[in-house]
Amino acid sequence: MNLQTGPTVSAAIEARNVSRAYGSNWALKDCSLDIPAGSITGLVGPNGAGKTTLLSLATGMLRPTTGSIRVLGAVPGHGTAQLRKVGFVAQETPVYAGLSVAGHLKLGQRMNARWDAELAASRIRELKLDPRLKAGRLSGGQRAQLALTMALARRPDLLILDEPVASLDPLARRDFLAGLAKATAGPQMSVVMSSHLVSDLERICDYIVVLVASRIQVAGPVADVLAGHHLVSGPSVDRSDLPGDAEIISAARNLGQTTALVRAAAAPQQLAWTVTRPNLEDVVLGYLGRAGEGAVDDAAVEAAAVEPAAVEPAP
Partner 1 sequence: MTWLTFRQFRAQAITALAAVAVLAVAYGYTGPHLADLYDKSGLRGCGSGPHCLSLATAFMKSLRADQVYPALFFAGILILLILPAVIGAFWGAPLVARELETGTYRLAWNQDATRTRWMAVKLGLIGLAAIATAGLLSLLFSWWAGPVNAAGGFPDNLGQFTRITPLMFIAQGVAPAAWAVLAFVIGVVIGIVVRRTIAAMAITIVIVVLLQFLWPNFIRPHLLTPVRATAPVTLEGLNSMLVSSSGGVAVAVNQPGTPRLPGAWVLSNYTVTPTGKTFYLPGTASSACAKGSPAQCDAWIAGQHLTQVVEYQPASNFWQLQWIETALLLFVTAGLGGVATWRTRRLLT
Task: Write out the residues near partner 1 by the rule CB under 8 A.
Answer: 59-63, 79-80, 83-84, 86-88, 90-92, 94-97, 99, 103, 106-108, 110-113, 147, 150-151, 154
d(CA 163, CA 92): 8
In whole angstroms, the minimum distance from the beta carbon of 60 to partner 1 comes to 8
- Pick between residue 143 and residue 230 the one whose CB is nearest to partner 1: 143
- Pick between residue 95 and residue 304 the one whose CB is nearest to partner 1: 95
Angle 203-216-170 from CA coordinates, rounded to 5° = 30
In whole angstroms, the minimum distance from the beta carbon of 264 to partner 1 comes to 41
In whole angstroms, the minimum distance from the beta carbon of 151 to partner 1 comes to 8
Nearest to 246 by CA among 237, 255, 254: 237
Taking CA atoms, 40 is separated from 12, 28, 89, 149, 154, in Å, by 10, 22, 15, 18, 18
- Pick between residue 107 and residue 197 the one whose CB is nearest to partner 1: 107
In whole angstroms, the minimum distance from the beta carbon of 80 to partner 1 comes to 5
Long-range contact set of residues 163-171: C-beta below 8 Å, sequence gap at least 24: 163/51, 163/52, 163/91, 163/194, 163/195, 163/196, 164/89, 164/93, 164/193, 165/195, 165/200, 166/91, 166/195, 166/196, 167/92, 167/140, 168/140, 168/141, 168/144, 169/140, 169/141, 171/141
In whole angstroms, the minimum distance from the beta carbon of 198 to partner 1 comes to 25
- Pick between residue 22 and residue 277 the one whose CB is nearest to partner 1: 22
- Pick between residue 67 and residue 103 the one whose CB is nearest to partner 1: 103
Specify whether the backbone of 248 is left (phi greater than 0), alpha (psi in -120 to 50) or beta. Answer: beta
In whole angstroms, the minimum distance from the beta carbon of 45 to partner 1 comes to 20
- Pick between residue 82 and residue 217 the one whose CB is nearest to partner 1: 82
Please, which residues bridge with residue 100 across strands? 134
Four-residue CA torsion sign, 94, 99, 101, 107: negative
- Pick between residue 152 and residue 198 the one whose CB is nearest to partner 1: 152
In whole angstroms, the minimum distance from the beta carbon of 315 to partner 1 comes to 29
Contact 3, 306 (CB under 8 A): no
